[in-house]
Amino acid sequence: MTAREAAFKVLGGYRRGGALPGVALGGMSKELTPPDAALAMRIVNGVLQNAALIDYYISSFSSIKLKKIEPRVLDILRLSIYQLAFMTKIPHSAAVDEGVKLASVNANPRAAGFVNALLRKAADASGKMSLPQVAADSAAQILSIKYSHPEWLVKEFIASFGEDSAEALLRANNADSLPVTAQVNTLLASAEDVIRELENDGVTARRHEWLDACVEMSATGDMTRLSSFKKGHIYIQDAAARLAVHAASPEPGMFVIDGCAAPGGKSFAAAVMMKNTGKIAAFDLTQDKAGRISDGANRLKLEIVSAEIRDAAAPAADHAGKADIVIADVPCSGFGVIRKKPEIRYKTEQSVSGLPDIQKSLLQSLSAYVKPGGVLLYSTCSLLERENEAVTGWFVGCNDDFRKEEFELPHIGRITSGECTLLPHIHGTDGFYICKMRRDAP
């Protein structure tokens, strides 16, 4: 199987039933060489990142309306146009020829000629740097097509951040490639130790620019093969999620509850900050999720992390009012991690409309575990105000014994309002909302 054949199959599976691209491509790993697997993933992600703009180009070159093009043919055109418009190291002739081959094998007999003619027009325009410029009735429409984000989401970003910052965010979401970010388990190793281990395994690694005990990696391949992973010296976590735990300020000997814990990164970060002394109860709904947390804690040798199968929406009496810190990293739309999971952008507004009610319910329930004088840390990887400031504002308005408390973050500085939003184009992290609240002492 070639890289383009794999990309074609993955895009078809996603179009037909929303099959996750990474999972689908992982299932083909035995049929692909590592370079072909990497190329296939680059093409798939690139098409998902730029689908609206690619379709705009196709419509400009096609004599057939987009909605009348056979879906399988449209998949082929999209992956081929992506190569022509965005992948400068791939010869145009190769992108055209491979697209025509795919059409010859996978579509109706006349499709190959149509694909050949359209791709040659696109190749000629790309070679002359004359691909069509986006024209639309409003700034939101233009940005929606140019950066392939739903118009409703673009409008939300413009309302929250302003037009210029929203465009910078959209551009950051479409970055070609990102390093894998890992936190160092400083109980077992130093950042220098980890970088040396990674380089010995053939991985390019460097220290994070401004976050201590954090490394960035590329060309990792299967993470589980790495000696630093096997030894429990690292766990995968973005800098933004790590900063959320930093804001909560866990200390040795504390009792911490992580309310929606899987896969466990915040529990692990807290355990390291607590020097493996105290207790962390990591809640999640299923045995599978609890098992993943336990496996990770065992690998990292973090004995204080205990995975518990619990519903965060139904607080139990055994821990009521006892936790020094409760972490409420609640389910959310995930629009802050579009740069890593490009398919997330295609969630509909309706599909995420019920999340604030769920988030409010979880936050209210988890607050019952916070002892007087303790901390409630709310976080999401969403950038929608309705899931963030609106939720915490509602909560403190309904609970007069909680108030937002200022905190300080490395590189970011002092957050006097008690809440902040990290942004990919400004902070180089995932998009992430953090709010620290403290319960009044008696």
Catalytic (active-site) positions = 381
List all residues 6 or more positions away from 140 whose beta carbon is below 8 Å from its beta carbon. 151, 154, 155, 158
DSSP state, residue 131: P
> Which amino acid belongs to residue 109?
P
Q: Measure the N-to-C terminal CA separation of the chain; round to a whole number of Å.
A: 67
For residue 263, cis peptide bond before it (omega within 30 degrees of 0):
yes
**CA dist., res. 275 & res. 273, Å (int):** 5
Do residues 335 and 312 touch, judged by C-beta distance below 8 A? no
Phi-psi region of 284 (alpha: psi -120 to 50; beta: other; left: phi over 0): beta
In DSSP notation, 306-345 reads: EEEE--TTS--GGGTT-EEEEEEE-----GGGTTT-GGGG
Element (H, E) at 228: helix 227-230
Q: How far is CA 341 from CA 78, 281, 335, 347, 430, in A?
A: 18, 29, 9, 12, 11
Rounded distance between C-alpha atoms, residue 164 and residue 423, angstroms: 14
For residues 227 and 200, the answer to whether their CB atoms sit within 8 Å is: yes
- Gap between the Cα atoms of 415 and 405, Å rounded: 9
Residue with tokens 């639309």: 136
Residues counted in the chain: 442
Q: Nearest-CA neighbor of 237 among 26, 430, 21, 435?
A: 430
Torsion angle of the four alpha carbons 356, 357, 362, 368, in this order, in degrees rounded to the nearest 10? 120
**Angle 349-264-269 from CA coordinates, rounded to 5°:** 110
CA distance 148 to 162: 18
